[in-house]
Structures are given as structure tokens and as C-alpha cells.
Structure 1
Amino acid sequence: MGIDAVNLSHLDLNLLVHLDALLRERSVTRAAGRVGIGQSAMSHNLARLRDLFGDELLTRGPDGLRLTPRAVMLVEPVRATLSQIQTIVSRDDAFDPATAERTFRFGLPDSMEILVLPALLARLREVAPGVHLRLYNIDSSRLLDDLDADELDLAIGYDVFPQGQIHHKRRLLFNESYLCMFNKEITGITDAQISLEDYVRLPHVLTSLRPGRTVRGVVDDALEKLGLRRTVVLTTPRFLTVPALVARAPVVVTMHARLARLFATELKLSLSQPPVDLQDVAVSLLWHASYDHDPSHAWLRQILVELVSEL
């Protein structure tokens, strides 16, 4: 399809910027603040956009402005188009980490923070002192929405992420197995391998990032296949509290192997292969397709891949 240069020349590209703000904020006032213009000017631009697209785009509902079906279909194309225009006119094509200044918003659980971030921070201070990180906890139920709303640049974590759409980019970093961790002096387990009998007898600590009142883990599914159940006495979304809990109480935790080895070494805790069959879990990097060709973003993704390969 050829480009209609005559008609396209009459289009004010600033309208696309304002449309993007309106689609993101769903509020004339907030959209105006986002792009730095007055509310009346944004209202005028909304009228122009409605005329351009022949659609209301935003309609008033009981809970504020809502996107029309046409507007919903415009969200991703508009964002992708603006991203491509920014890439075309940007002078950052020859990205230089040594002189670049940028802050990346990074969503990840504390387990990945302790595994990956020390090496990443050390590398950034060495080769890119102007690149800063701002870390956020992951809410897997909102993760894709946060990426779509440009609240996060990157996310990394265990593959409990929703599947997502074509613009949600994902790269496998590694597959992770499981280990059991416990204090052998308190639990009385002296064998190198914890038995299924002891595994079911001992109370468990469960780490879970999933919201909700009823929480199950992969261990519960594996035990159910054997007609068995365990007793979970504490559930936490914070992996970093687990070693202190296990060190002081007669409990067992089943957790991802790399983190378990790190904790066991630090606190002299015991490790064992689980007495049930547990499938490995994928650890992935996730981002929005708008940043696919962003030079600094692509550079950071590659740095992460290299560092994770050394784990």
C-alpha cells in the first residue's frame, strides 16, 4: 500500500501524541498534564481526533471515561507508531553506555533481586555509571497492564506470568529446578535425602506470589497425585525471609534450587532433592514490544542475558 503523501501532510502528528495520552489516562485532565498542555487545549484536540477518526473514542460512563471499541483497537498501534517515530528521530542509535543517562523501571520478585541484581549493579557501575535502576515488586495479575501502561520497562521472574499478547515480548533466561531446605539439627533429619514420610510429617513454609486466600504450590499438586497432603504453617510472598524461618523452626521449605543453594551456604542449612516429582519452572524476561528496537533497552536486555548465563 502506497503512502498518501498529500493527505498525510495535513495530519498533525502531535495529535497522535495527545491521542496516546488520552488512551492511557482515560481522562482529559490527566492526559493534558501528561503532555504539558491545558485542559481546554486537550478538549479541543479530543474533538479534532473524534472528527479525524469518525468515532467518539472516549465516552462518559458511571466510573469516568471509557474507550470505545475503535479506541481499544487503536491503543497498541498508536503506541507502536510513536515508538517507531521516536526511534527514527532519536540520536541514540549509537548507544554509548559510558555516557548514557537513563533510569530503568524493573519489576521482579525479591528472589530474582538477590540472585541477579548484585552482579547487574556491579556491571552497571563499571560500564554505565549513568544508567540507574528503580525496582518494583511484581503483581503477576497486573504485570501485563503495567507494561501496557508503560509503568515498567522490564520484568523478570518465574513463569507465573499470564501468556500475554503479541506485543508482550518474552525471553527465556533459564529453567530452574527445586530443592528442599531445612535445619537438620532441629528437624532431626540426618539422611542426605529427605524421605517422603518425613516430608509429609514436617510442617512446611510456602513461598507464593499469587494473591488470594487459598494458596497452593506445585508441591501440593504433586502430593495430591499420591493421595497425600502436607501442612503449610506459613505462607509468604517474600523469599528473603525463608532462610531465617527455616534456621529457627522445625520446618521444611521447597524452593528454587539456585536460591536454596545460596541460602544454605550462608546459614549452613541442609539441602535435599524433593521426594516428589516436580517439573522445572522457567525464568523469563518480559517487556513491551515498543522497546524492541530501543538501543539502551536492547543493551540492558543483553547484559541481563549474559549475567544470568553465569549463574
Structure 2
Amino acid sequence: MSRNHISLLVCLDALLSERSVTRAAQKLEMSQPGMSNALARLRQLTGDPLLIRTPQGFRLTERAETLTDKVRASLALVDEIFGNEAPLDPQQAAGHVSIAAPDSVGIAVMPALAGALALAAPQVRLDIRLPDAERLRDWLVEGECDIAVGHFPDLASDLRCMNLFTQGLSCIRAHSQGPADPLALQDYLDATHVVFGSPFSARSTMETTIDEALGALGHARQRMVRVASLPPIPYIVARSTHIATLPTWMATHYASFLPLQVQPLPFEVATVRCSMVWHDRTHRLGLQAFVREQLREVTQALMREEPAPAGSLLRSGIGTG
């Protein structure tokens, strides 16, 4: 688009909103002949009169009516591309940021992020929801969410990604299920398992990683209970003969107040890496960048030894990204 076309677009917006050559010229501080010339050029380019004189004054043609929203959206896009965004003032910033995160991340990290934003950017609204790993790119592109946090081993190449931390995995079973001896692989395979997915998928990406590791050994788990979120699992295991595999920090946390044993997995599993993912749609937006930086900072704080909100949860069974 040439500079002349942008100028004509500005004139068209004024003509459509003012419905008068004279008022449009005044609005843009142009001469009336200059605006008349712009209208003539616009009529030629669009093949439509745009403004029609009536006894009550000018009215928009049907074509002009359909152009109004498109013209305003186009000018807003031009402003976004070429405008110089002022530095973000977090205390004054207002807006909405949507984060898709699994329950484990929601419990471990989101309380710290919500607390940090409440102090640093009190007018920013935070929406936290469970992710759909299979439609993650669509969600980020279409605005269903702005940021995704979790274990996403198969990311689209056009998504931006920052590793936050890695999670170790452990097995939990009820105290009533025998001595706290480490499980042998055959014990793990003979047991019945509680697994979790989401409202969108039968298995989470973490459960898929576990199944792939067992599949490489020629084995599979006996899945007896499936839940759509992770927090009920420790309670189910504590009152049954089933076992489950959870992030180590979470297994240790629930074992502190439920009758559970925490034991190492009897096989090797690929690294469960928690990453922050976003799309170019939000990459350059000041508020989005600020929230991403806050998320990175609170995660690093949770991994350090110094006190931090909810830090005791995450420090067990977690590593650097």
C-alpha cells in the first residue's frame, strides 16, 4: 500500500463518519477542494459514488455502508504496524490475558503469577484454562488463548517457545498396598492405573510420554480409571488398590497429608519439559510481553532456594528448563 493510498484511506474514513465533504475536510484540517478531489479519486477506485446528495443531506451508498468497518479496521492495523507504542506502565495497564495450562502447572505456578500480577499490574485480568494440546496452534493463532504453558513435545514450527523447567516423575500408591519398597517393572505393569487427560483428550501429553516409554520396551499399562483433571488422582489412589504416575513435586505434596507412598518409576522416561508457548500474534504486544516476563520470573523464583510464593510445592522434583 502506497503512502497515497493510506492518505486516501484516511480521507475515506472521515467521509464515511462525517457524511459531508465540508465536515470531513475540517476534521482532517484540509481544504474543501482537496477533500473533493480525494472523494473523486475514491469514487474512481471503488467504482461507487460512496456519498449521494439527498434533500436531507448526503447519505452513504450501500457499498459505502459495507466499507465502514473495514476501513476503520484497516487504519487500526496501519497504526499498529507503524505506530510507536508507548512504554508499558504496568500499574496503569488494563487488559485481558488468557493462559492455557494443565492442572499441575496451575497448582504450582499460577498462584505465584496471579500474586505477582495483582501487585505489578492490578488492572490486568487473568484467565486460566486447561489446554487442548491437539489444537494448541489454532488456539494461539485464533485468540482462544494468548499463552500456553505445559509439556508440549510436538510444537508447530511457527510457535515461539521458552523452556521454563523440567519435571521428574514418581509413582504413588496407598500405604495399605504393602511395604514402601521400590516398585519393580513387573509390579508396575501388573498394577491398575489411574490416568488423566483433559476435557479435550483421553490422555495428557505427560501420560502419552509415559506410554511411549513403556511402548518402546514392549509394555503397556492397565488403565482402570480415567479422570479429566489431575487433582482427584491422589485421593482416588489413597482409597484404592490403583497406582498413578505424577510429577514428583506433586506426589510429594499430596503424600504430606494423604496415606500415600512415593516411589521412583522402574523405567526411564523422556524428559517432561514445561515450556511457555505463544504466537507472533501476541509477540510484540506490550502487555503480553510483560505477562510472559512475569511468568518467567516467578518460575525462576520458585526454583531458587530463597522464599517465594508456593515455592515449597515446586522445588521438589523440578529442574531448570
Q: Report the TM-score when normalising by structure 2.
A: 0.67
Question: Aligned equivalents of 1:13 and 1:111: distance in 2?
Answer: 53
Question: Aligned equivalents of 2:190 and 2:281: distance in 1?
Answer: 50
Question: Aligned equivalents of 1:308 and 1:298: distance in 2?
Answer: 15
One-letter code aligned to 2:170: L
- What does residue 187 of structure 1 align with? 177
Question: Aligned equivalents of 1:251 and 1:14: distance in 2?
Answer: 69
Structure 2 gaps of 5+ residues are 14-59, 304-321
Question: Aligned equivalents of 1:100 and 1:214: distance in 2?
Answer: 38
Question: Aligned equivalents of 2:288 and 2:202: distance in 1?
Answer: 37
Question: Aligned equivalents of 1:284 and 1:302: distance in 2?
Answer: 13
Shift, 1:108, TM fit: 1.5
Whether the aligned pair in 1 keeps the contact of 2:148 and 2:278 (CA below 8 Å) is yes
One-letter code aligned to 1:10: L
Q: Report the TM-score when normalising by structure 1.
A: 0.69
- What does residue 72 of structure 1 align with? none
Whether the aligned pair in 2 keeps the contact of 1:187 and 1:251 (CA below 8 Å) is no
Shift, 1:242, TM fit: 0.9
* 1:163 and 2:142 aligned: no
- What does residue 138 of structure 1 align with? 131
- What does residue 86 of structure 1 align with? 80
Question: Aligned equivalents of 1:211 and 1:251: distance in 2?
Answer: 24
- What does residue 234 of structure 1 align with? 225
For residues 238-295 of structure 1, the C-alpha deviation after alignment (integer angstroms, 9 at most, x for no partner) is 0111111111111111122232232223425221110011111221111221322222
Q: How does 1:6-25 map to 2 (within 5 A)?
A: 6-11=4-9
- What does residue 218 of structure 1 align with? 209
Q: How does 1:1-311 map to 2 (within 5 A)?
A: 4-11=2-9, 44-45=66-67, 85-86=79-80, 89=83, 93-160=86-153, 162-166=154-158, 168-183=159-174, 185-191=175-181, 193-209=182-198, 211=200, 217-309=208-300, 310-311=302-303
SS in 2 for 1:232: strand
RMSD (Å) for aligned C-alpha atoms: 3.3
Whether the aligned pair in 2 keeps the contact of 1:178 and 1:280 (CA below 8 Å) is no
One-letter code aligned to 1:85: D
Cα–Cα, structure 1 residues 280 and 82, in superposed 2: closer, same or farther, change >3 Å? farther
Structure showing greater Rg = 2
SS in 1 for 2:133: coil
Question: Aligned equivalents of 1:248 and 1:41: distance in 2?
Answer: 68
Cα–Cα, structure 1 residues 301 and 271, in superposed 2: closer, same or farther, change >3 Å? same
SS in 1 for 2:256: helix
Question: Aligned equivalents of 1:108 and 1:174: distance in 2?
Answer: 14
Whether the aligned pair in 1 keeps the contact of 2:161 and 2:276 (CA below 8 Å) is yes
Question: Aligned equivalents of 1:214 and 1:106: distance in 2?
Answer: 20
For residues 101-160 of structure 1, the C-alpha deviation after alignment (integer angstroms, 9 at most, x for no partner) is 222122112221111111112212222221221122211222221221122221111115
**Identity percentage of aligned residues:** 24
For residues 34-93 of structure 1, the C-alpha deviation after alignment (integer angstroms, 9 at most, x for no partner) is xxxx9x6687339x99xxxxxxxxxxxxxxxxxxxxxxxxxxxx99x96673275465x3
One-letter code aligned to 1:9: S
Whether the aligned pair in 2 keeps the contact of 1:206 and 1:217 (CA below 8 Å) is no
- What does residue 59 of structure 1 align with? none
Whether the aligned pair in 1 keeps the contact of 2:196 and 2:202 (CA below 8 Å) is no
